[in-house]
Amino acid sequence: MTSESHAPKSAAARLFDIRLLIGGLFVLYGLMLGIAGFFVSDKARAKAAGININLWLGVGMLVLGLLFLLWRKLNPLKVEPDAEVAADVGGPDVRH
């Protein structure tokens, strides 16, 4: 536990990048729906007013997911060296 005089430092710099999870989820959903769209039944198509909605939603989600992954690759989170050192070395470890 930390002592009273030594205030713990913020570990916020360790927060992960949400773009990875959004991108990952949408790519996975996009593939699941897109594959289902290739095996669409006449009944499912008729239900959706003649649109193969699983295919289109799947393609849309796949594209959005890939855009998030691309954005993350082109513009990665910058970890400030100070914060990283403070979190890993300087700050007392308060994980219970």
Partner 1 sequence: MLRLDVNVFDYAILAVYFALVVVIGLLARRAIATSEDFLLSGRSLPAWVTGLAFISANLGAIEILGMAANGAQYGLSTVHFYWIGAVPAMIFLGLVMMPFYYKSKVRSVPEFLLRRFNPATHLFNAVSFAVAAVLIAGVNLYALALVIKSLIGWPIWVSIILSAAFVLVYITLGGLSAAIYNEVLQFFVIIAGLVPLVIIGLKDVGGWHGLQMKVHNDKLFNSWAGTHVGTWNNPLGDWIGIVMGLGFVLSFGYWTTNFAEVQRALSAKDLSAAQRTPLIGSFPKIFIPALTIIPGLIAIAVIPKMGSGDKAYNNAIPLLMNKYLPNGTLGVALAGLLAAFMAGMAANVSSFNTVFTYDIWQTYVRKGRSDSYYLRVGRIVTVIGILIGIATAFIASGYTNIMNYIQLLFSYFNAPLFATFIIAMFWKRATAWSGVAGLAAGTIGAAVMHFAGYHIGYFYPGGDVLSHAKVNAQMVNFYGAIVAFVADAVVTVIVSLVTRPKPVEELAGLVYGVPDPNAPDPKSLPKPSWWASPKLLGGVSAGIVVVLSLIFT
**Residues in touch with partner 1 (CB under 8 A):** 1-4, 7-16, 18, 21-22, 25-26, 28-29, 32-33, 36-37, 40, 44-45, 47-51, 53-54, 56-58, 60-61, 64, 87, 91, 93-95
Residue 23 CB partners (closer than 8 Å, separation 6+): 65, 66, 67, 68, 69, 72
> Closest approach of Cβ 1 to partner 1, in Å?
6
> Closest approach of Cβ 74 to partner 1, in Å?
15
Which whole-number Å values give the CA distances from 12 to 26, 56, 80, in the listed order?
A: 26, 38, 11
